[in-house]
Amino acid sequence: DEQSVTVDWNGDVEVPIRDLNLVKSAEGEPAQPMESADGQSTNMDSNGHLPNGKECDISDETIKKLKEENAMLIQREVMSEETIRKLNEDKNMHILKETISEETIRKLEEQKDMHVEKEVALEESIRKLKKEIDMHVKKEAILEDTIRKLNKENDTHMQKEATSKETIRNLEEENEVYIQKEAKAEETIAKLKEAVDRHIHKEVVYCSFISEVTMEEIINKLQTWYRALEFVVT
């Protein structure tokens, strides 16, 4: 079985102890020639060893190639690590952006909810204000109708007051007329009483001289004069 070559992280190559160029058959055939690094075949001796100097050249060439491959692998590894680092940075940046975006979305949703709540509150306030305005409009209409009725009643009372004043004035004028008539009537009565008294005095004087005149006739005449006086007064 072929043994592997070990390469450490410093680029050093460990070549295991083996027969590099020895290829034997099961029947113990002689060793086959080994191809060198430059493509030329090299014959080995009966013990499977290369001629002096050949084995050292092949080992150096192998080590050189392995070191080159190791350096290339290390370079690829470094590049891969750098790529991984950049990808991790990109991933972290995207995670950060995603976190910021999620936080922004959360805040925007909170603001949206707040605006929705404010909008609902404003709509409720508008509804209440409209209701209050309608109520005030109805009250205003009722008050205007009340004012109109009161103005109408006030006009009626003013007309009645004017009529009452006119009636009072007329009654005062009539009362003044009656007062004047009463004064004239009282004056007439006083004059008639004076006249009656004069006539009575005359009748008494006449009765004292006329014997045939009886007291009954005098009383009848006096009653007639008083009835005439009452008729004049009324």
64-83 pLDDT per residue, tens: 999 999 999 999 999 999 99
- Give strand pairing partners of 6: 14
What is residue 59's predicted lDDT score, i.e. its pLDDT?
A: 87
How many domains in the chain? 2
Cα–Cα dist 107/114, whole Å: 10
Last residue in a domain, options 78, 102, 127: 78
Q: Residue 42: how many CB atoms within 10 A of its CB?
A: 16
Q: Tell me which of 78, 104, 122 is where a domain ends.
A: 78
β-pairing, 6-7 with 13-14? antiparallel
Contacts of 51 (CB under 8 A, 6+ apart): 42, 43, 44, 45
Is position 210 within any domain? yes
Q: Does any domain span residue 100?
A: no
| Residues near 24 by beta carbon (within 8 Å), at least 6 away in sequence | 31, 48
Residue 94 in domain:
no
**27 within domain boundaries:** yes
- Confirm whether 127 is domain-assigned: no
Given 78, 98, 130, which residue is the final one in a domain? 78
Domain span holding position 189: 184-233
Q: Of 31, 28, 53, 55, whose CA–CA distance to 43 is shortest? A: 31
Instruction: Kindly give the confidence (pLDDT) of every residue in the chain, 234 residues in length, as a single tens digit, with 9 standing for 90 and above.
Output: 444 444 454 444 444 444 444 333 334 444 444 444 444 444 555 555 555 555 567 788 999 999 999 999 999 999 999 999 999 999 999 999 999 999 999 999 999 999 999 999 999 999 999 999 999 999 999 999 999 999 999 999 999 999 999 999 999 999 899 899 889 888 988 888 888 888 777 776 666 655 555 667 767 777 787 777 666 656
Whether the Cβ atoms of residue 5 and residue 14 lie closer than 8 Å to each other: yes
Residue 122 lies in a domain: no
Would you say residue 227 lies in a domain?
yes
CA 129 to chain centre: 11
Please give the DSSP secondary-structure letter assigned to residue 17.
S
Residue 134 in domain: no
